[in-house]
Amino acid sequence: MSQTIGRTRLAYSRAWHHVSLASPSTPSLGRLASRIAILLMGKHKPIWDPSTDCGDYVVATGCNDVLVTGRKKEQKMYYKRTTRPGAMKSLNMESMIRKWGGGEVLKRAVRGMLPKNRLRDKRLDRLKVFEGEGHPYKTNLMRFEGKIRQVEPEVKTEVLKQMSS
């Protein structure tokens, strides 16, 4: 029996998911980051394997409204190190949002929840973050504003028209 049952090109195709942080039902930063990490890894697919990269794309909009609980905006620290002694820099979350935006905070949270291996940077590249609600990937999304959107290539429709006539 073949070991590649179900591992077709269609099974490995990447879908685009949209996450809006501006909606009132958005969970806090950690819970949201863990859900995004599962989508980026592809663990929601039945063909998931730790050594293969079968995850989807995620577009996160409204990252300036990232929700954190407690006093994390003032107390959570982010560190940047160099090879020089005494050159460690630190920023709290509030100043990082002011300087780099909420998308950087979300990316760092998701990065910490992905497995530490060679695929982490490739998976993180599929996370697209935007501060506002607008983004250039609207045509790629399968689900946008709660509606299922199916985009068929124009080549197929032209071939079907030629076959029917």
Q: 61-75 pLDDT, tens per residue?
A: 999 989 999 999 999
Other CB atoms within 10 Å distance of the CB of residue 12: 13
* pTM for this prediction: 0.80
Q: 21-50 pLDDT, tens per residue?
A: 988 888 999 999 999 999 999 999 888 988
* Cα torsion angle, 49, 51, 53, 55, sign: positive
DSSP bridge pairs for 127: 58
